[in-house]
A and B are shown apart, each in its own frame.
Chain A
Amino acid sequence: MIQKLKNYIIPKTHQSGFRISDSKVGTSYIFAAQQHAWREASETARHCWIVFLLCGLIGSTTLYFLDLKVYGFDVFQIVFALIGILFLNTKNAIEILSRHNFSGWLVFALVAIFGQLSSINLSLYKSGEISLTAGTGLILFSIIGSIVNPGPGIYIKILAVFAVTGSLFVTRHSKFQVPFSLLVLTTVISGLIWKHIFLSIVNTSARSSLAMRITKAPANTAASQMDSNEDLDRFAISSRKTAIIIVKWSNFANVSHDLRPSDLDKLLKIYFAAVDKLLMVNIPSGAWFADVIQHEVHIYIFEEPTDEHPAVLAFKFAKDLLKEKNSSGQFSSMGHLDIGLAYGSTTSGILGPKAFKKTAAIGTLSQEAISSKALGGSIRQAFGGSDKIIFDFEVAKHLEDQSGILSLTHKDLNPQSTIPEKLVYVFDFDSMKESKS
């Protein structure tokens, strides 16, 4: 029930960053959140582990000077090693597999584990209490256990460690082996439960944090500032080169009037999901922000070195949206789509009231995109056709290799127009169909 509610109130798109979990782009942002979570978890693990290590050293020294029997200390050492293994797994695999970079503390930790377990092993072996094989096995499993990939594998390996530990006790005083092994087992289980609870909360927290940031800023900014406590300051208001896309349904008033609320809700969900999907696919860097006012979608695409030119990306997205709309029967009640594009420098960044801050573009550029989009009806009336992408020269000059783009003057649309010289560029979905055929 709670999960259902969570999915509804904080939909998948917010929980994981994006709707399409299997998309490479989507998973890369989820991965960014997980990386952040691991970093936070490993900080804790490192901290706890170092305290245990210090504790072990102090304990060893105390026992040495007091010349006490080592039984109590053995228990501590084994539990210490197991807890170290449990916690260490939150980090190591990521470091080894992703960064190929051993940090100093990791090397230190591994040497420390090896040293401590070797000393126990040696002392127990000398006293004839364990076999050499069992002791070596314990060491090997501990080291392997500490560097395995976090995930289900760790649980199997921990059980293997427990089995070896159990065999260690078999050679000792038989009276105590069962309760003693039970204690170790419950310690391991308790550690696993803790690890699970702790990692779950750290992971959920990181994902929620990413989701929250995505409602304010483009995904790439949100993901890149996961480690920062500052509130997305990189996206403060300033002038940026931006492509603006405005998508409008020509007959939305009729659609919203005619459809039942549940059908309208369904149609809008599919439509907005399609917008999200196409943005993810076309702009893999995540340098975009899609806002909605009523049914009108306003998309801002920002310059990013790894991406194509924003105007080109805007056109690709618009074309794909028309394709998606016309290829899917789900949008049959939608009427025509008019998409206005504009490109240039505009003031953009995060602004708004305290609780509702979001990325916005304020300036004349939005007005240009709105004006372009508004021409859709007149063009259809004058020349026919269906869904249209409309833009000005600032966009058109980056689309020289695109076919099917027509240029019109305002006079072509309206002989009384006072701005006859300004060219309007139009891409009609029908021309795409013709070129295909």
Chain B
Amino acid sequence: MNEKTSTSYWELESTLRDQFVHREVSREINSVLWIQIFAIVAINSCLTVADVILGIPELRSINLFIRGSTILAAVVIFPILRDKPLLHRNAIFMICQIFGIGFSYSVHQKHALNLPLNGYLSEYILIIQMMLIIGFCPFTQKKHLLSLAGIYLLVVLWAVSPVIATHALFVVLAGCSFYISVTIRVLYLNFLERLHGIDYDLRARMLPPILVRNTLDRPRGFLIDAVKMSSTGILCITSDWHHFKDAFKLHDEQTIAKLMSDYYDECVTLLHEKFDGGDCALDWMGDDVLIYIPYNTQDDQETETKTLAAVNFALDLVQIRKRHFAHLSVPSGIDVAISLGRANYGLSGTSNSRRMIAFGYPVSLARGLQHHIKICSELTNDNTDRIAMTNDIRNILSNGHDPTLQSLNLVSIKPDQFLKNMQVTEYFVHLPT
């Protein structure tokens, strides 16, 4: 496994995470925009009714303002109702926003000059509300927001120029309101990004990559059934090293920890490549690794393909370990065991460690096989890497279509009592020739 492949996997992960966060943040910021728009419509409706009931002609500037902002709300809602891609909607929104602001402000300004008191009032409301809208408009990119704000400030300055002294206060108000709305917007977006980033990371920790990815485009409800414990075909791969603890006697903890992290990173990358973009779950504790690969027991072709991939993965695992740990000068080998069968598979664990786990015959069998070959290795003080597999896997290998696996040197081994209890009469170990 080369470094390039490893990097590209994590890059892909990072890209998917960014996409997920962007989509969720856009959705949330849009919902806030909706609240804002409805609030404006509600406020304006109340004011109109109040004007009519009270018969206050002086407040017609507010009515004009209402018209302006209602038009604004309508043009904003219209493109959102159309199911266009998000970026497209944003582009339309931006034009509408500028139009709405320009229109309502110019109409208002015309009347405000004649009506000082209500002019101040409606001007104030207009500025604050428009600033809030700009602050929470659905642009996740700051540059668009700042461009828009720049245009708006120019409009404000132009509009107030005839009576600049009177309106100095409102220019200050507009500036402060804008500053605050942008600040809150940036903070709000940061919190949203952090929240959805954590959401993605938690899912990525608990679920197989393929499930995480499916939820990016599919309804969230898809996950509920996918993570429920159910009976399914499981290919189980377990691995354990010889003399792992001796490495700590010769090397410092940081070195070993770094090597282990790199080793696991490469395992994850390789799993992703071998099994349909991550249709598998990995669990590890110390040097002990457990991998579960679900498959459809009714589909012989899938069973064969995944089994061949699992054996291939086991061979690569041996190579990865060698590459990362050979230079440590610690005599060690790795025992890998593979088995398959029906098991219960689903989300389980304590508060610290909830993840996809398989329970049942193939898992016990793989661990039993691994335990047995480890005992054999210890008795003979043999540090050869070994890959153990059951008879059904050997049969798939001999019928399989992967020529790289035909050269495996498989030796038949008599099982121990534990394995006999599991109705295993013999199993096979690949020994390097």
Contacts and interface: CB of A to CB of B under 8 A. Distances in A.
A361 B285 CA distance: 8
A153 interface: no
B351 interface: yes
Interface in A1-47: 1-2, 4-5, 8-11, 13-14, 17-19, 40, 44, 47
Given A256-B344, A261-B344, A355-B201, A8 B227 contact: yes
A379 interface: no
B265 A354 contact: yes
A76 B221 contact: no
A371 interface: no
A367 B331 CA distance: 19
Contacts of A152: none
A197 to B, nearest CB: 7
Interface in B223-246: 223-224, 227-231, 244-245
B195 A208 contact: yes
B359 A295 contact: yes
Contact of A237 (B50, B254, B288, B354): B254
B172 A62 contact: yes
Interface string B267-295: 11000000000000011111110100000
B74 to A, nearest CB: 20
Interface in A126-185: 175-176, 178-180, 182-183
Interface in A186-214: 186, 189-190, 193-194, 197-198, 201-202, 204-205, 208-209, 211-212, 214
Nearest to A49: B180
Interface in B81-110: none
A177 B231 CA distance: 70
A91 interface: no
B261 interface: yes
Given A5-B223, A58-B172, A71-B117, A292 B353 contact: yes
B317 interface: no
Interface string A44-70: 100110011011001100110010110
Contact of B245 (A10, A69, A264, A364): A364
Contacts, number: 265
A99 interface: no
A356 B207 CA distance: 11
A327 interface: no
A9 B227 contact: yes
A407 to B, nearest CB: 26
A305 to B, nearest CB: 22
Determine which residue in A9, A212, A351 has the highest number of CB atoms from chain B within 10 A of its CB, and name it. Answer: A9
B21 to A, nearest CB: 13
Nearest to B180: A48
A257 B342 CA distance: 10
Interface stretch (A269-277, A309-317, A333-341, A395-403): A269-277
Nearest to B132: A190
Contacts of A356: 205, 264, 268, 282, 284
Interface in B1-19: 10, 13
Contacts of A363: 245, 248
B199 A10 contact: yes
Interface string A280-315: 000000000111111101100000000000000000
A347 B253 contact: yes
Contacts of A18: 351
B346 to A, nearest CB: 6
B331 to A, nearest CB: 17
A13 B346 contact: no
B325 to A, nearest CB: 13
Nearest to A66: B165
B173 A59 contact: yes
A252 B254 CA distance: 36
Interface stretch (B119-127, B139-147, B375-383): B119-127
Interface in B168-194: 168-170, 172-173, 176, 179-180, 183-184, 187-188, 191-192, 194
Contact of A261 (B35, B231, B261, B353): B231
A257 to B, nearest CB: 6
Given A253-B361, A265-B346, A291-B353, 15 more contacts: A1-B221, A4-B224, A9-B347, A17-B351, A176-B117, A190-B39, A194-B184, A215-B354, A252-B359, A264-B359, A269-B348, A293-B283, A351-B257, A354-B261, A355-B268
Interface of B: 10, 13, 28, 32, 35, 39, 42-43, 46-47, 50-51, 54, 56, 58-59, 62, 116-117, 120-121, 124-125, 128, 132, 165-166, 168-170, 172-173, 176, 179-180, 183-184, 187-188, 191-192, 194-195, 198-199, 201-207, 220-221, 223-224, 227-231, 244-245, 248, 253-254, 256-257, 260-261, 264-265, 267-268, 282-288, 290, 343-344, 346-354, 357, 359-361, 363-364, 367
